[in-house]
Structure 1
Amino acid sequence: MSQQPAATVRPTRYVVSCIPENDINAPHFSLNVEYRGRDLWAVVRHGSCLSAAGQWSYESVPSEREDEWLAEHRFDLDTALKLAKEAAPTLTVNGFTVAHVLRWPADEAEE
């Protein structure tokens, strides 16, 4: 009888948000910290990555990414989570900020 190979589990994405996960607006006011290989992570939102300087820039296809760009947009996990937590309260969607959403009554947020 042959043995089955052992499966491994690896986390590859964290969701970071100031909005409670059960709020209908949470997906829109969230960003992701995603694994990019080689023990490096990216802070991602709508196809853009956050730089070490706190600026968002479009993430091109891998073959078009320069080493300089990668150095500014790839982090160890602790740094990526720190940057994501700092950026999360500043997210804006259609002119509404995180602070607006948190002030809305629960019944209005569910509409």
Structure 2
Amino acid sequence: MKLETFKFKRIVVVCADCEDRSDGPRHLSSKSATKELRRLSADSPVRARVTRTRCLGLCPHKALAAVALGESLPAMSAEMDDEADLRVLARYAFGPDGVKR
């Protein structure tokens, strides 16, 4: 097996199955959250990848699950209820300059 370096330094993975649960989030969809995180990552000095995935196994009550990790960034899981939580995750994953004021 050949291992290679990758151009992205960080990755944010958003669970797409959370919104399908009966106790899933009411104010945030995984598609809109992923789109907003991509928009916020565009201003970041660090190259990041934002993607949706199947169940992460975290299953928060009335929230979306997400995980951010990468080079010099410890893996951190997040329970996103609304836009404010999404911005907190973006600030953690992409740095304070990754969030537009």
State TM-score, norm by structure 2. Answer: 0.31
Q: Which has the higher contact order (CA 8 A, sep 6+)?
A: 2
Higher helix fraction (1 or 2): 1
State TM-score, norm by structure 1. Answer: 0.29
Larger Rg: 1
